[in-house]
A = this chain, B = another copy of it.
Amino acid sequence: MTAFLRFADFSPGQTFRSGSLTVTAEQIKAFAGQFDPQPFHMEDAAAEAGPFRGLAASGWHTAGITMRLLVEGGLPIAGGLVGAGVDELRWHRPVRPGDTLTAESEVLEVIPSASRPGQGRLRVATRTMLPDGTVVQSMVSTLVVRG
């Protein structure tokens, strides 16, 4: 069972690893239909002729899957994951149907609140990876931790 951590429990250099999720072609097309309705994310023929030379997930879909992996134990913050913002979000490689993704996170910085003792912000680097370690997405998030 995952132990959920409070603000005082975090320190720079800590690492966390999520479970994994496998992406299907149907999920890629369904996400795109709602949030990134470009033919090369939705239709096989357009995908083959498109910029990714085959069906690939919207980068925002990969970001959503990463969030799910973090919420489901990949970044165990008591009180939940509340993001203030993200920097350096990069999509390094297309995510294909059948790809299995895992998220690894490292605490970069622990920033106590000036006004609220025991609370603050974390800066966390998260890499979303295939089983062989290939990084498909990376980002640095700022998370609000309430204590």
The interface stretch among A7-15, A61-69, A122-130 is: A61-69
Each complex incorporates copies of this chain amounting to: 2
Interface secondary structure of A, over-half rule: mixed
Q: Interface size for chain A: under 10, 10 to 19, 20 to 34, or 35 or more residues?
A: 20 to 34
Give CA–CA (A16, B51) in the complex, Å.
Answer: 24
- Residue numbers in B under 8 Å from A85 (CB-CB): 88-91
Determine if A83 and B91 form an interchain contact, defined as CB atoms under 8 angstroms apart.
Answer: yes
CB distance from A103 to the nearest CB of B (A): 13
Q: Is the CB of B91 within 8 A of A38?
A: no
Q: Which residues of B contact A68 (CB under 8 A)?
A: 34-37
A87 on the interface (CB 8 Å rule)? yes
Identify which of B59, B79, B82, B86 contacts A83 (C-beta below 8 A). Answer: B59
Q: A18 at the A/B interface (Cβ < 8 Å)?
A: no
Q: Report A141 CB to chain B, min CB distance, Å.
A: 9
Is A6 an interface position by the 8 A CB rule?
Answer: no
| Shortest Cβ gap from A140 to chain B (Å) | 10
Contact of A64 among B35, B38, B88 (CB under 8 A): B35
Min distance, Cβ A90 to any Cβ of chain B, angstroms: 4
Chain A residues in the interface with B (C-beta under 8 A): 31, 34-38, 40, 50-51, 58-60, 63-65, 67-68, 71-72, 79-91, 144, 146
The 9 residue pairs across chains A and B that have the minimum distance between CB atoms = A35-B64, A85-B90, A86-B89, A38-B80, A35-B68, A60-B64, A51-B82, A36-B67, A60-B67
